[in-house]
């Protein structure tokens, strides 16, 4: 959860403010308060991966590149959603992007709103995440990962 707040917290906040329903699946069972500060919900990754998808499919998925590269279940989930319908896929933590995840993905900056920077700073403090919450830009890889 701390990784999501540090790398994508401002982007998550801006999506929520744009009317998106944002749920962050996390394996660490950490305090959900930092995500609530950003307007997002926390859910258990293992439970989500073990449950059949009910209701509408997501229109966008954002994944930590390191998790995509290290967890075959996450990779299968992302690739299965891509096979079924048009879905925006966003990877963060560019330094850890595995080669097979790069696919046709391209680097895209997301310029944070002033409010996103303020809420991200509060979420980082709540998560006890060190780092610069005042940065005006977060960077992501957007596009379809290569289908291994």
> Does residue 10 sit in helix, strand or coil?
helix
Domain presence at residue 70: yes
Full domain range(s) for residue 94: 2-142
Would 148 be classed as within a structural domain? no
Let me know if residue 119 belongs to a domain. yes
113-126 average pLDDT score: 95
Residue 35 burial by Cβ neighbours in a 10 Å radius (0-12, 13-18, 19+): buried
* pLDDT of res. 147: 46
Mean pLDDT of the chain: 82
Q: What are phi and psi of 36, to 5 degrees?
A: -65, -35
Domain assignment of residue 63, yes or no: yes
Two tokens at 135?
């940065």
Mean pLDDT for 118-134 is: 88
User: What is the value of pTM for the model shown?
Assistant: 0.82
8 Å CB contact between 111 and 81: no
**Is position 147 within any domain?**
no
């Amino acid at each position: 959860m701390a990784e999501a707040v540090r790398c994508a917290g401002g982007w998550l906040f801006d999506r929520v403010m744009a009317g998106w329903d944002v749920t962050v699946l996390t394996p660490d069972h950490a305090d959900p308060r930092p995500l609530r500060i950003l307007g997002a919900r926390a859910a258990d990754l293992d439970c989500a991966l073990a449950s059949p998808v009910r209701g509408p499919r997501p229109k966008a998925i954002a994944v930590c590149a390191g998790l995509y590269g290290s967890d075959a279940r996450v990779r299968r989930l992302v690739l299965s959603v891509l096979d079924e319908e048009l879905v925006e896929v966003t990877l963060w933590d560019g330094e850890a992007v595995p080669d097979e995840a790069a696919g046709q993905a391209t680097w895209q900056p997301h310029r944070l709103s002033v409010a996103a920077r303020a809420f991200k700073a509060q979420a980082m403090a709540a998560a006890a995440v060190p780092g610069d919450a005042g940065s005006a830009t977060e960077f992501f890889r957007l596009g379809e990962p290569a289908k291994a």
